[in-house]
Amino acid sequence: MKTEKLFLRELDSAVSGLKGIGKALKSELKALEILTVADLLSHFPRSYEDRKSIKTLSSVPVRTSEGVIVNTVAEIIGQSYIGWGSKKTLKVFVRDNTGTGTLVCFGRSFLSRVLIPGRKFFLYGKFVYRYGEFQCSDFDMEPISGEPKLFGRILPVYPLAGKITQKFLRKIMLQALKEHADRLEDELPHYLLKEYNLLSKREALKQIHFPDDFKLLEKARKTLVYEELFHLQLQIWRRALKRRSCLKAGKKLSFKLKAHLLQRLPFKLTEDQQRVFSEICKDMADPKPMARLLQGDVGCGKTLVAFLAALVSIEAGYQVAFMAPTELLARQHAENAAELLSPLGVRLAFLSGNVSGERRSTILKALAEGEVNMLVGTHALFTEQVRFRSLGLVIVDEQQRFGVLQRLALTGKGEMPDLLLLSATPIPRSLALTFFADLDVSTIKTMPEGRKPVITHLTVEGNEEKVYKRVREEIEKGRQAYFVYPLIAQSDKLGLKDAESMFHTLREDVFPDFSLGLIHSRIPEEEKESTMVSFIKGEIDILVSTSVVEVGVDVSNATCMVVECAERFGLSALHQLRGRVGRGEHQSYAFLVYSRDLTEEGKRRLKIMKKYHDGFIIAEEDLKLRGPGEITGTTQSGFFRLKIADIASDLDVLQQAREDAVNILRADPGFILPEHSLLREVFSRVNPFAGAITEGG
């Protein structure tokens, strides 16, 4: 039975079957998500200790606090103690054939019985020049007798939890590799292994944990990264190609309504708007259902393009659904639509959770009978009772706010409607390739003419007075301002500013002569909305809030965006916040107030905000600094968990893997590899598509 070949994922016997794992350790391993032998073998090192290359004591520099890792054969030459009694600390003097050093054995006085003068040991540890000698307090030793266990090789350093030690993990890893690795089957087609000169699965696992040398380690990593990304792409593209092979009736397009609307506008479409509009039209005319992401910074004119697409769809005889993530935003879209589209004869309706009773049933009836051309609203558009007569186009604004599940539910209405997703959160190319492979992407890069870039100031906490003074000048000129805080209400623990307290401070002490409003998510919907409306009308000068203003509100007279405790916000959030201003003819400003004890990384992040205005560059930088999950908002849904590949640094491999996966699927749409050992976990836990199918029944 032992000789039978199997896939890593099939090593599903409990890790507690390995020697030396008691109950306590079993639960600690669980904290590392290691339940089975397969989990253990896919718990990859975060770094390595090179105990192979000799590094002698003479390599430690003198008179600097910079330490050097020494890996040498050392002879004990003496012992002494610092301090007295129970607090005394053992010092052991050693030498190799280049120099001498001192081991400071804090709390390890028992070592005096082992580290006896004359004995020789392998020694590994970080030495620093201190008090006229080379000292080391964190070291590992092994007597020189027989085969060295931990020396003469490259050792893995694992992520740990609880009482689990490196020593323990290394031991059980070695054991698991010895007992199981040789039975493992490859998880990539052989021609790909050969083409890229990759290792077999079993060799890759051995080398990633206990590399023979750094070259093989690199090769092992390359193998596992490629394998993981290849499988990821295979899954995504199988789905994407399947969707693309569905057919609908291609729309017969004509552009009378569109021309009417454009005549009524005081401006011309930008080149980018024209280009993306024709990309969308091409999709709508095609028998393949459109699935297109339209991305571009806030204010670049996406909504207008979406309205034009809606007109074309309506003229072709189809209904349109336009969905926004919040009631406020949905209403704003509905008002815009009423102003721009109703005069052309488009029949509009609005639906949200708050529309109920008779009004609701009237709307639903009109919709089912085809009396309504375009339904604007929140996700209430896609609840059970909503039936369209001929839904031809679904537009989703700020699509990143919706889960992938909702995205699916909404294309389930009608016969494969075209799908147009709008996003102001620029999705870096690498992520687009990874998660939105089933979408085509159109990008608007340029802003309409006449927009002035927002001037961004970074201000350290304590200098807020200066910011408040600048804001005062703007308001006295007739402009308006946003003040944004990371918290709703006071929290002693965090010691951060919050919207509620600052609302009172600003209103009573700083701007007693202006009118202020407050919104955050705990304020009732109606009150929030009436405050927003007053702000839009200019009755309120200063709007104090949490990041709820991030999405969509459009007040062109607002020229100041003040964000306090700015380091608490992600770069993408800051970019969105800044996008709330600079929407009109006036010069606008963003003031990012940061805390005194800002970390180096924090400083780097804020400098990026000052330097760049292009959302795509900011998103790429954000990706580099934070890792991908947070950007796409997938952290919560958790479906983004690669074990070894790193989307930012392994982008080349990702692209190659994508090409290979698509080629295989094109040649053989039914191509199936055994599920990937690592990805299975990723997808079974979270694969939103798998979930959707069972949920839908």
Cβ neighbour number for residue 252 with a 10 Å cutoff: 10
Instruction: Give me the least distance between CB of 296 and Mg ion, in Å please.
Output: 9
Q: Is 207 in the site for ligand ADP (CB under 6 A)?
A: no
* β-bridge pairing 319-323 and 291-296: unpaired
As a whole number of angstroms, the distance between CA 416 and CA 408 comes to: 11
224 token code pair: 């596992």
How many whole angstroms separate alpha carbon 253 and alpha carbon 251?
6
Residue among 275 and 680 whose Cβ is closer to ligand ADP: 275
Verify binding: residue 581, ligand ADP, rule CB under 6 A: no
Q: Draw the binding track, 549-568, toward ligand ADP (x: CB under 6 A; -: no contact).
A: --------------------
* Three-class secondary structure of residue 73 per DSSP: strand
Query: What is the smallest separation between the CB atom of 517 and ligand ADP, expressed in angstroms?
Result: 22
Site map (CB under 6 A) of ligand ADP, residues 444-483, x = contact: ----x-----------------------------------
Under DSSP, the state recorded for 271 is H
Query: At its nearest, how many Å lie between ligand ADP and the CB of residue 189?
Result: 44
Instruction: Transcribe 344-384 into DSSP letters.
Output: GT--EEEE-TT--HHHHHHHHHHHHTT--SEEEESGGGGST
Handedness of CA 202, 207, 212, 217 (dihedral sign): positive
Residues 6+ apart with CB under 8 A from 114: none
Q: Which of 150, 98, 99 is nearest to 121 (CA)?
A: 150
Task: Give the range of 53-61, 268-276, 469-477, 689-697 binding ligand ADP by CB under 6 A.
Answer: 268-276
Q: Which residue has the tokens 């919907």?
A: 525
Report helix, strand or coil for 553.
coil
Residue 300 binds which of ligand ADP, Mg ion, none (CB < 5-8 A, kind-dependent): ligand ADP
Closest to Mg ion by CB, 235 vs 576, is 576
Instruction: Tokens for 22, please give them.
Output: 């008691």
338 binds ligand ADP (CB under 6 A): no
Using the contact rule CB under 6 A, the part of the chain among 67-75, 116-124, 296-304, 344-352 near ligand ADP is 296-304
Residue 220 binds which one of ligand ADP, Mg ion, none, with CB within 5 to 8 A depending on kind? none
- Give the torsion through C-alpha atoms of 622, 627, 632, 634, to 10 deg: -150
Among 125, 156, 211, 301, binds ligand ADP (CB under 6 A): 301
The nearer residue to ligand ADP, 235 or 273, going by C-beta atoms, is 273
* CB closer to ligand ADP out of 301 and 325: 301
Q: How far apart, in whole angstroms, are the C-alpha atoms of residue 618 and residue 607? A: 11
Residue placing its CB nearer to ligand ADP in the complex, 486 or 579: 579
Q: Confirm if 316 and 273 have CB atoms less than 8 A apart.
A: no
| Rounded Cα gap, residues 678 and 42, in angstroms | 7
Residues 401-430 that bind ligand ADP (CB under 6 A): 424
Pick from 42, 72, 223, 270: which binds ligand ADP (CB under 6 A)? 270
The interface partner of residue 370, options being Mg ion, ligand ADP, none and the CB cut-off 5 to 8 Å by kind, is: none
665 binds, among ligand ADP, Mg ion, none (CB under 5 to 8 A by kind): none
Q: How far is the CB of 491 from ligand ADP (least distance, A)?
A: 33
**3-class DSSP assignment, residue 612:** coil
Q: Choosing among ligand ADP, Mg ion, none, which partner's interface includes residue 312 (Cβ < 5 to 8 Å by kind)?
A: none
Shortest Cβ 453–ligand ADP spacing (Å): 15
Nearer to ligand ADP, 297 or 438 (CB): 297
CA 54 to chain centroid, in Å, comes to 41
Q: Is residue 302 near ligand ADP by the rule CB under 6 A?
A: yes
**Shortest spacing between CB 320 and Mg ion, in angstroms:** 17
Cα–Cα distance, 490 to 472 (Å, whole number): 25
Q: Which stretch binds ligand ADP (CB under 6 A): 148-156, 265-273, 311-319, 430-438?
A: 265-273
- Specify the pairing of strand 120-130 against strand 89-95: unpaired
> C-beta of 432: minimal distance to ligand ADP in Å?
18
**Which residue type does 448 have?**
P
Nearer to ligand ADP, 574 or 647 (CB): 574
267 near ligand ADP, rule: CB under 6 A: yes
Number of Cβ atoms within 10 Å of the Cβ of 443: 18
- Residue 296 interacts with ligand ADP (CB under 6 A): yes or no: yes
Of residues 9 and 580, the one with the C-beta less far from ligand ADP: 580
H helices then E strands: how many in the chain? 24, 21
Pick 305 or 623: Cβ nearer ligand ADP: 305
Q: How far apart are CA 521 and CA 184, in angstroms?
A: 52
Closest residue by Cα to residue 485 from 473, 474, 472, 495: 495
Using H for helix, E for strand and C for coil, what is the string for 166-222?
HHHHHHHHHHHHHHHHHHECCCCCHHHHHHCCCCCHHHHHHHHHCCCCHHHHHHHHH
Q: Which does 392 bind (CB under 5 to 8 A by kind): Mg ion, ligand ADP, none?
A: none
Question: Which partner from the list ligand ADP, Mg ion, none does 269 bind, CB cut-off 5 to 8 Å by kind?
Answer: ligand ADP
97 alpha-carbon distance from chain centroid? 51
Question: Which member of 45, 299, 615, 691 binds ligand ADP (CB under 6 A)?
Answer: 299
Nearest approach, Cβ of 543 to Mg ion (angstroms)? 18
| Shortest spacing between CB 250 and Mg ion, in angstroms | 28
At 28 the three-state DSSP class reads: helix
Burial class, 588, CB count within 10 angstroms (exposed 0-12 / middle 13-18 / buried 19+): buried
CB of 424 to Mg ion, least distance (A): 6
- Give the DSSP H/E element, type plus range, for residue 190: helix 190-195
| Least gap, CB of 557 to ligand ADP (angstroms) | 12
Residues 83-112 interacting with ligand ADP (rule: CB under 6 A): none
CA distance 542 to 545: 10
Q: Which amino acid is at 369?
A: E
Q: Is 325 in the site for ligand ADP (CB under 6 A)?
A: no
Residues in contact with Mg ion, shown as a per-residue x/- string from 280 to 309 under the rule CB under 5 A: -----------------------x------
- Minimum CB separation from Mg ion for residue 302, in Å? 6
Looking up tokens 């085969």 gives 147
Name the residue nearer to ligand ADP (CB basis): 270 or 456. 270
Residues paired with 143 in a beta bridge: 121
Number of chain positions touching ligand ADP (CB under 6 A)? 14
Q: Are 349 and 417 in contact (CB under 8 A)?
A: no
Residue 296 interacting entry, from Mg ion, ligand ADP, none, C-beta within 5 to 8 Å by type = ligand ADP
Nearer to ligand ADP, 398 or 500 (CB): 398
Q: What is the C-alpha separation between 383 and 364, in angstroms, rounded? A: 11
Minimal distance, residue 614 CB to Mg ion, in Å = 17
Binding test (CB under 6 A) with ligand ADP, winner from 173, 300, 416, 571 = 300
Answer for the pair 427, 293: CB distance below 8 angstroms, yes or no. yes
Residue 588 in contact with ligand ADP, rule: CB under 6 A: no
- The least CB distance from residue 313 to ligand ADP, in Å, is 18
Indicate the residue among 449 and 652 with the shorter CB distance to ligand ADP.
449
Q: For residue 326, give both structure tokens.
A: 């919040």
Residue 626: name the closest of 645, 647, 597 by CA. Answer: 647
Q: Is 269 in the site for ligand ADP (CB under 6 A)?
A: yes
Residues of this chain that interact with ligand ADP (CB under 6 A) are 267, 269-270, 273, 296, 298-304, 424, 448
Contacting residues toward Mg ion, per CB under 5 A: 303
